[in-house]
Amino acid sequence: MFGRDRIHAAGRDFLRDRRGVAAIEFAFIAGFLSLAVLNVSDTGIYFYKRMEVENAAQMGTMGALKACDPIHLPATVNCPGLNAAVTAAIQSTSLGNAVTLSGGAVSEGYYCMNSSNHLQYISSVSSKPANCSTAGMSALQPVDYLQVAVTFSYSPLFQGISVAGLFATPITKTAMVRML
């Protein structure tokens, strides 16, 4: 009996002992906080990269305006250094060579403003329409726009742990510039 009482007493003492409880609670909370910090950092990096891709597309349109004379349109036909200038401009951003032109080239076309004040594609640069009647605005003249689409392959830092792995990748952004 003496041994059995001693075992029960040791068991009761073990259950009443509260030493180390704070360390265990901290370990649980620290684990969840670490997971939250990883998610916030990965998500922040994703949105920063997305913003940089958008900036690269805008830099590409500015590079096209700088390299090609708007008097000699269409630029995709009459500006031989267009793709090289746009590629150099998009890769001058912080993303460097990791950002590329989608489809490998710049596109160009005639657009008109429709009744909702949105740009509407009318035709390719091979045949300029006389007016914007297909957009419902026959009094307006179609305008030449250059479109630069860029792509960046994003990979989360904490693959499989953070929610950033669920975001769209590759990141693709488009910018347009009026050539006239």
Convert the pLDDT of each residue in 51-93 to its tens digit.
999 999 999 999 999 988 878 888 888 888 899 999 999 999 9
Q: What count of other Cβ atoms lies within 10 Å of the Cβ of residue 29?
A: 10
pLDDT tens profile 133-165? 877 777 788 888 999 999 999 988 888 888 888
List phi, psi (to 5°) of 26: -60, -40
| CB distance 90 to 56 below 8 Å | yes
Collapsing DSSP to helix, strand or coil, 79 comes out as coil
Q: How far is the C-alpha of 115 from the C-alpha of 137, rounded, in Å?
A: 7
**Among candidate residues 67, 63, 68, the one with its CA nearest the CA of residue 93:** 63
Kindly report the pTM of this predicted structure. 0.78
Q: Residue 23 is inside which H or E element, if any?
A: helix 21-67
Percent of the chain at pLDDT exceeding 70 = 95
Confidence of residue 175 (pLDDT cuts 50, 70, 90): very high
Nearest CA to 92 out of 133, 49, 132, 63 is that of 63
What CA–CA distance (Å, rounded) separates 172 from 55? 11
Write out the two tokens for 40.
């916030």
